[in-house]
A and B are shown apart, each in its own frame.
Chain A
């Protein structure tokens, strides 16, 4: 009888898995094609509570692409506070720190980056950490210009701090390896 029940349930289980993977694939494709809203909707349909770190991270990246930095930050913080794989944690810490850095919230950014540097020695993370430290303790040169921009608005000439791309780690799709260098759109 149990065998019969298993035979009965098994096809439904397979169909459910296929549907799940198909939706993930669709979301991934939508994200790559620049249809961010659709990608977010698809990710939400799979995991609304953002329990899956990959989906949560991808959603946060898509929020950033749409210019919703605070929303992205909320998701990154959710990923960071939970026990997640190092790759996702580092990427989330970096991206969250980057957003905070852009918002000139240097001390919070430094805190996140210090946490990231405990598990990685990635050059991008180190570089951002240096920039954040420079922001915390303004010294010579470029930092002075950034300070002035607060009085005069954005300067015409881009400062070095703006060279970084907004989302350095890009979209992390399921199936990528544990090494952070192997992120697809790094």
Chain B
């Protein structure tokens, strides 16, 4: 009983399996098919229809049925269908419809075969026939099939030989013509990846003529509308003398710059100063919603030494408006900056310059009691802690106009010219420049260790045996090591300073690297790391590298 049940289950399973997986087995010959090659497809329809009134085959376009035969078999009807492909591509015999009486029986066949060959596809260009010179316009390619993006890009490459074109998306190109031109009929052969290269598409485009209307001569920009942004600006409005003034020029509009790669800037000062700067421009393009946006940027630097008020005027731009078809002149906004006295000079060096003559008197006439009196008065007023020799050296440096040496002597004077008593009296001035104490915790820990060690030493001294002497030596050595460590910690925290010549500050230690700042002669920089060829420095809050030779003086 059990065995029979198993037999039935297996039988039911086989039936269900066969029904659910019923397939129409078909054969296609020959294996390699080209256009006009007769194709024979055979298949067996598992049906018990006895009479057939009509037969129709559903095939893809480009296939004609030349003849067919039906042979009744025991299992159904055996079909032999002869087809004639007229077009290359992947073709199907989708289904067969048999009409028996008033009933239509549809059998899905799905016989597929590939006809090798080339399919010609014609493309039509859609775009304006007449445009202005440099007017960006959209050129559209209409083709009956979906093409790969790479094909469009390849076509863009071909168009680029005649005018400037860029593929945007789907089938659109943004084109700019400098003059009238004709795009010839392009032919592009691409292989169909679905057919493993058996079928190829030949894309043929029609010729297209672009006629351009000349724009007026002297045009700098061609714009689509009036939304042009043209500015020149500086980072601040007040500068100190000898400080570099950086101008940033910016032009952006919906359109394209035609000629100007540089722009002129005129600087006129109230102190009769006049300068003309040519600023090289970088051009960038972007496409937003099928519109070309162009942007020109540039910057220039000028050092205005004279104190006064300066006006910066830019050359106007000649713009041709495509909307109105007229040329117009657009001026940049005029800006004004004022240059004031250098704070550094006025605070330190300028004060010294006023004293310079008196100090020189002192150098030359050492016995002049009036001069010494004056110097004493000056010292008591401002530079009380400076020694006379330093003051004389600074004065000498200023007389020979060696700013670097003057800065060096000022720093040296600030450092060495201050007696220890005054260092304690004026800790803020001295420590901020040359001295940074380690964290208080560091001292606390060291004091604790030293205290404990000293107590141990005293205790051991009382015992007075050989072992205690040995321990005493060890403990005293430990205190010495700790003292050395403290000294090293303080020494490490003393910043180094350097006085530079006129030198650029590089981003990395290489002369081809970007310049992040400019040190003028006598600039004081903080040395963060020093080596033979390069010094890693901090200047105006920026960290960078200067060649070691550019540091004319060093102060620690």
Contacts and interface: CB of A to CB of B under 8 A. Distances in A.
B528 A41 contact: yes
A147 interface: yes
B156 interface: yes
Interface string A94-132: 000000000000000000000000000000000000000
A170 B331 CA distance: 49
Interface in A37-66: 37, 40-42, 44-45, 48-49, 62-63, 66
B40 to A, nearest CB: 39
Interface in B152-202: 153-154, 156-157, 160, 164-167
A74 B150 contact: no
A71 interface: yes
A44 B531 contact: yes
A63 B534 contact: no
B284 interface: yes
Contacts, number: 83
A140 B167 CA distance: 14
Interface string B506-530: 0111101110000000000000110
A181 interface: no
B510 A70 contact: yes
A153 B513 contact: no
B80 interface: no
Interface string B29-49: 000000000000000000000
B507 A68 contact: yes
Contact of B508 (A71, A151, A153): A71
Interface residues of B, number: 30
A71 B512 CA distance: 6
Given A48-B532, A140-B150, A156-B286, A66 B508 contact: yes
Contacts of B529: 41-42, 44-45
B213 to A, nearest CB: 22
Given A40-B508, A144-B154, A144-B157, A48 B533 contact: yes
A145 interface: yes
A79 B165 CA distance: 43
A178 interface: no
B330 interface: no
Nearest to B534: A44
Contacts of A145: 153, 156, 167
Most A C-beta atoms less than 10 A away, residue of B150, B164, B510: B510
A17 to B, nearest CB: 19
A45 B513 CA distance: 19
A4 interface: no
A151 B256 CA distance: 12
Nearest to A70: B512
B153 A144 contact: yes
A148 interface: yes
B383 interface: no
Contacts of B531: 44-45, 48
9 contacts: A37-B543, A41-B529, A63-B510, A67-B514, A68-B507, A71-B510, A75-B510, A152-B166, A153-B286
Given A62-B508, A68-B507, A141-B150, 20 more contacts: A41-B536, A44-B529, A48-B531, A48-B533, A63-B508, A66-B507, A71-B508, A71-B512, A74-B512, A140-B154, A141-B154, A142-B153, A144-B153, A144-B154, A145-B156, A145-B167, A147-B160, A148-B156, A152-B285, A153-B286
Interface of A: 37, 40-42, 44-45, 48-49, 62-63, 66-68, 70-71, 74-75, 140-142, 144-145, 147-148, 151-156
